[in-house]
Chains A and B, each alone.
Chain A
Amino acid sequence: MGSPPPLLTLAHLEKRYGAKKGPGTLALQDMLLEVGAHDFVSLLGPSGCGKSTALKMIAGLLPPTAGRIDWPAGAPSADGTGFVFQEPTLMPWATVFDNVWLPLRLQGLARDAARGRIKAALAGVGLEDFAEAMPRELSGGMKMRVSIARALVTRPRLLLMDEPFGALDEITRGRLNDDTLALWGEHGFTAIFVTHSVFEAVYLSRRIVVMAARPGRVLAEISIDEPYPRSADFRHTARYGAWCAEVSEALSVAEAAHG
């Protein structure tokens, strides 16, 4: 059995800001990465390591200054990529329902035709009873769930998440980590997850890309060889602790690298 082609590969990806005048700032240097179908990859590193920049380039929101992003299985369609931002990034003037409708509406799907998929997406994050609520009526964690439902309503092949749970309390964060894994198992999308939390990265990922800052670059890639589904019990195992220690070690090397 030959291995299927990867979903995307980053070839010597580079991003330099302010390059029009002088050398500018090197935000990301020579990034190489191969991401397969149904992979779960975390980009882990201190702030300024270029992890969010890499994510935005993959999303097509930023052009690289050098290098390429290849899609061996075909470039994603307009609704083939979901994105979850650091903040919930909901439209405050629209109901939860209308916020989740947005990606389908932009593809020309009318409200009634989209209703079933919107309800399903909201049920997937446990918010089926809040369809008519306004964003301001929701807690931070619930807003983030709406944001995830919106990203998944188009059934994307690729889900990009940019430190989505960084602003949440520890309990909500843990719960949303579990939900993310459950949705990942159920939908079968590929996830690229940016975080600066070692614990979160180890719990979620199949692979962790450890990055360093100034210039932003990849220092190490660590495969977390643990079976899925993972549950909260995994967090209490000695193996989880060992993985966290190993990744922390790699991260402290990364932190020292730019000092």
Chain B
Amino acid sequence: MAERDVLPLVERRWLRAAVPVLVFAALFLGWEAVVRVYAVPSYILPAPSLVLQTLWDNFGSLMASWWFTIKITFGALLLAVLGGVLLAVLFALSKWVELSLFPLAVVLQVTPIVAIAPLILIFIDSTTAALLLCAWIVAFFPILSNTAVGLRSADLNLRDLFRLYRASPWQTLRFLLVPSAMPYFIAGLKVAGGLSLIGAVVAEFTAGAAGKETGLASRILEASFRTEIPKMFAALLLVSLTGIAIHLLFNLLARLVLGGWHESESRR
């Protein structure tokens, strides 16, 4: 414990950001070196510099695809938040709703999305709607289960206090249950954010959609058919960067919402 306190706080923060950056830089430099030294052909493993060059050359078309993937990801996440939270509140209000619907949610969760996606694509005409539904199915469960646990985790004495002052169910929900559930909900959101991106990409792979209104997965498929491996890597890089950005975004959100009070965001 004492050793951790040797570095002053500012230095530690700086190091925290610098260390992963250095690791990634070393990784990419090593990759570049291997490709150049052994003259690996670009259709097997393109050098990072070539991947960046390809990204720059195809920036317009890749960005349009990126934007489509972003729309599916955040659209599905938004619907997952709405559906998950609403259902969790219903679970908290009625044991019967929970008993009857929770198994269904579990079935959706444990069935691999790649197995359901073809069916969904058959049943639903609009590809966009089908992709949204696939991504939603993956993102929905962590929000639902975390929020449901969170709503049940309010301090028992505080519950008694609310009963003592004869708080209405609405007041109890608003002033006690929702704030108590917030750390759980945010944890679910962090998981769901990454999952909805994965869901959006996986569903598009299964759909194998072509045309203008398609996302990064279609670019990856397309490039692999044409053995444009550098372009594949460029699209893959965009997917990874998007995933990292989503992760950082929700970490920031967690700090903003919980930083003032919750242990998970305390800085000592």
Contacts and interface: CB of A to CB of B under 8 A. Distances in A.
Interface stretch (B42-50, B165-173, B197-205, B229-237): B165-173
B157 A92 contact: no
Interface of A: 56, 59-61, 78-79, 81, 83, 85, 87, 89, 91-94, 102-103, 105-107, 134-136
Given A89-B157, A106-B171, A61 B262 contact: no
Contacts of A102: 161, 165, 175
B268 to A, nearest CB: 11
B157 A87 contact: yes
A93 B262 CA distance: 7
5 contacts: A59-B164, A61-B163, A85-B157, A94-B179, A136-B266
Interface string B145-179: 00000000001011011111111000100011001
A79 B165 contact: yes
B112 interface: no
Contacts of B158: 89, 91
Interface residues of B, number: 20
Contact of A91 (B165, B166, B179): B179
A79 B179 CA distance: 23
Given A87-B157, A91-B179, A61 B164 contact: yes
Given A85-B157, A102-B175, A106-B171, A93 B260 contact: yes
Contacts of B262: 92-93
A83 B182 contact: no
Nearest to B182: A93
B24 interface: no
A137 to B, nearest CB: 10
Contacts of B171: 106
A102 B158 CA distance: 11
Smallest CB-CB A-B distances: 4 pairs? A78-B166, A89-B157, A106-B165, A93-B179
A92 B175 contact: no
Contacts of B167: 106
Given A61-B163, A89-B155, A106-B167, 10 more contacts: A61-B164, A83-B164, A85-B157, A89-B161, A92-B262, A93-B182, A93-B261, A105-B175, A106-B162, A106-B171
Given A89-B155, A89-B157, A81 B261 contact: no
A122 to B, nearest CB: 18
B174 to A, nearest CB: 10
B157 A134 contact: no
Contacts of A105: 175
A107 B261 contact: no
B264 to A, nearest CB: 12
Contacts of B166: 78, 106
B115 to A, nearest CB: 41
B165 A134 contact: no
A60 B164 contact: yes
